[in-house]
Structure formats: C-alpha cells, structure tokens
Amino acid sequence: MITIFAPDGIGEVNPGADLAELISDACAAAGRPLADGDLVCVTSKIISKAEDRAVPAERAAEAAAAESVAVVARRGGVRIVRNRQGITQAAAGIDSSNVEVGTILLLPQDPDASAAALLRELGARTGLRLGVIITDTAGRAWRIGQTDHAIGLAGVRPTLDHAGLRDSYGNDLRVTEMAVADELAAAADLAKGKLAGRPVAVIRGLAELITDAEHSARELQRPTEQDLFARGSREAVLWAVLSAYRSTKRYAELVELDGEELIKAVTEAVDGDPATVRAIVGTIA
C-alpha cells in the first residue's frame, strides 16, 4: 500500500535553516516519524530559502536573464526558457508566490546537489535508508494547467525502463519508460497543497525505488538534439531562416524582436533575397 502524508509545523524557512531537522521533527510531531524506505519530496521553494536565493523583485528581469541559457518561446512579456539547471520553464523558474512582498525566489543553483546534501543530513540524523526528491511546478506544452515535477533527486531512481519486457498480450515493449520521479513529485503535491503551508510530503510504500546508485534529475531532461519541441512555432521558423543562411549566431539577439523591427533585422542579417526573407519572417513577426 502506498501512503502519502504532509506534516504541518515546518513554518517559515530562513537562510541557513537545518532542513533535515525541520523535516524529521515535523514528521515526528505529526505522529508519523520517518521510516526506512520513505521518499521525502521537498518543494524547491524551501530549498531556495535555506540557500538564500531570494532577490529584490525589482531585479526580476536581470535575474531572469542571468538564469536563462536559451529562449524556447516568447510571446510579448511571457518567456519560456531553458535555464542554467537545464530545465525548460516559464521565467526561468523564478517565483514570487509564498515569499515576502517585494521579493522573488530563484531556483536552487544545483537541485541535484541540494538533494544529495539533504539526503546525507537526513541519513546522519535518522540512520534510515531514504530517498529525496526536490519538486517544482511547471506547465506542459500539450496540456492546460501545471503539475509538479522532479528538478533534483538523490537516492531515488528517476525512471523505470520497461523496454525488453512483454505486456499481458505478448507484445514487446520497446520504448516504455516511466518517469517515476516526476510521478512521485506530482503525487506528493496533492498532499502538500499550494496554500496549506506544508512544503514537504513523505511517500511510503515504494522502497523499491530507493537506490544506492548515483542518479540525478538531469537524466529526465531530453537532450536538445532529440527534442522535437526545442523551440516554439515562431522561434522554429526564425531558427530555420537563420540556419538556411548560416546566421544562427544572431538567434539570441533576433528572437527578442517583433514586427517590422524583426523583419528588417533578419533581412539585414542574412545573405538572401530580401523579398523572400521578408515574406517568410513576416509570417511570424
């Protein structure tokens, strides 16, 4: 049987907080102390708070630029980017909810390292064999709404690969790979809630997912060269035009433009027939 519980009592987390102590004490106070085989799912927000990743809100644009590696899609002021952690998210994962007014919170610098450190501290405190997943909220390109996914982990298998097995009808499974860390993160969020003040959930009954092998949440990130959705529809057209004229080095600059400014800049940037380039770029400007 799988059970999930989210203890009350963790409270506000300050820079330098001992998260292992806060988590283990909260579970014990709830009458459900951590047990061998538990999977501890921790909202990235309290990791960021403990690591002092808060910055003034007026620095939001500067912070987003610093945290971003590449623009995946942009519509007006909304940006979907690939951030320094390799995660594709809106606004590089920067958040202004559940923090002091006038403050924004950046993601942990290295969520996998944060998960590994917390796992070590929990293990030293409890002597238990545990797994840790750091979770964050994200949208999905094909569906409405958001769900939590794993952005950092330690001691947990990120996927379960069924390739090579057979289903009950005798069909060979060739590409089936369950993103179990993401499924665990989403399930944990149902217990944590968004406004309940419970940033940690413990999943019990899946000890078989705990492993001593080294894994990371980065294993869940599809390599860019395999990503069929590495750019938005508008951005894909721009990239194609620049690729055709071997001018992709201008992409980061040009993707920020719109309208006639974009058309003029691309026409000047590439060595192609101006009328043809203008006609193509005009469809996305």
- If asked whether residues 272 and 218 sit together in one domain, one would say no
Is 76 contained in some domain?
Answer: no
- If asked whether residues 259 and 199 sit together in one domain, one would say no
**CA 172 to CA 10: how far, in whole Å?**
47
The domain boundary residue, chosen from 226, 248, 263: 226
The domain boundary residue, chosen from 226, 243, 272: 226
Residue 211 is predicted with a pLDDT of: 96
Backbone angles phi, psi at 115, to 5 degrees: -65, -40
Is residue 209 within 8 A of residue 39, CB to CB? The reply is yes
Is 151 contained in some domain?
Answer: yes
Per-residue pLDDT of the chain (285 residues; tens, 9 = 90+): 999 999 999 989 999 999 999 999 999 999 999 999 999 999 999 999 999 999 998 998 888 888 888 888 888 878 888 898 988 888 888 887 778 888 999 999 999 999 999 999 999 999 999 999 999 998 887 889 999 999 999 999 999 876 666 777 777 666 567 899 999 999 999 999 877 789 999 999 999 999 999 999 999 998 888 887 888 888 989 999 999 999 999 998 999 898 999 999 999 999 888 888 888 888 888
Strand, helix or coil at 136?
strand
Residue 162 is predicted with a pLDDT of: 64
Residue 108 is predicted with a pLDDT of: 95
- If asked whether residues 171 and 239 sit together in one domain, one would say no
String of DSSP letters for 92-135: GG-B-TTS-TTEEEPPPS-HHHHHHHHHHHHHHHH----EEEEE
Q: What is the CATH number of the domain that holds 180?
A: 3.30.1330.100
Q: What pTM was estimated for this model as a whole?
A: 0.86
**CA 63 to CA 131: how far, in whole Å?**
31
Is 71 contained in some domain?
Answer: no
Is residue 9 within 8 A of residue 26, CB to CB? The reply is yes
Is 72 contained in some domain?
Answer: no
- If asked whether residues 147 and 21 sit together in one domain, one would say yes
Is 45 contained in some domain?
Answer: yes
Please give the structure tokens belonging to residue 110: 């290295």
Total domains present in the chain? 2
Under DSSP, the state recorded for 223 is P
Is 82 contained in some domain?
Answer: no
Residue 163 is predicted with a pLDDT of: 63
Residue 165 is predicted with a pLDDT of: 67
Please give the structure tokens belonging to residue 233: 């529809």
Residue 34 is predicted with a pLDDT of: 98
> What's the full length of the chain, in residues?
285
- If asked whether residues 267 and 145 sit together in one domain, one would say no
- Of 207, 75, 221, 17, the closest CA to residue 130 belongs to 207
Q: How many CB atoms lie within 10 A of CB 261?
A: 12
**CA 163 to CA 167: how far, in whole Å?**
11
- If asked whether residues 237 and 202 sit together in one domain, one would say no
CA distances from 61 to 52, 64, 68, 247, 254 (A): 19, 5, 11, 27, 18
Residue 158 is predicted with a pLDDT of: 95
Residue 130 is predicted with a pLDDT of: 98
Is 177 contained in some domain?
Answer: yes
- If asked whether residues 34 and 112 sit together in one domain, one would say yes
Amino acid at the residue 249: K
Kindly give the interhelix angle for 233-244 and 274-282, rounded to the nearest 10 degrees.
170
**CA 90 to CA 140: how far, in whole Å?**
10
Residue with tokens 């944590």: 192
Please give the structure tokens belonging to residue 79: 């940006």
- If asked whether residues 277 and 146 sit together in one domain, one would say no
Domain of 258? Answer: 233-282
- If asked whether residues 185 and 48 sit together in one domain, one would say yes
Please give the structure tokens belonging to residue 237: 């057209």
**CA 216 to CA 198: how far, in whole Å?**
25
- If asked whether residues 137 and 277 sit together in one domain, one would say no
Is 188 contained in some domain?
Answer: yes
Residue 176 is predicted with a pLDDT of: 66
The domain boundary residue, chosen from 211, 226, 241: 226
Residue 164 is predicted with a pLDDT of: 65
Strand, helix or coil at 33?
coil
- If asked whether residues 39 and 119 sit together in one domain, one would say yes
- If asked whether residues 202 and 275 sit together in one domain, one would say no
Residue 128 is predicted with a pLDDT of: 98
**CA 45 to CA 108: how far, in whole Å?**
8
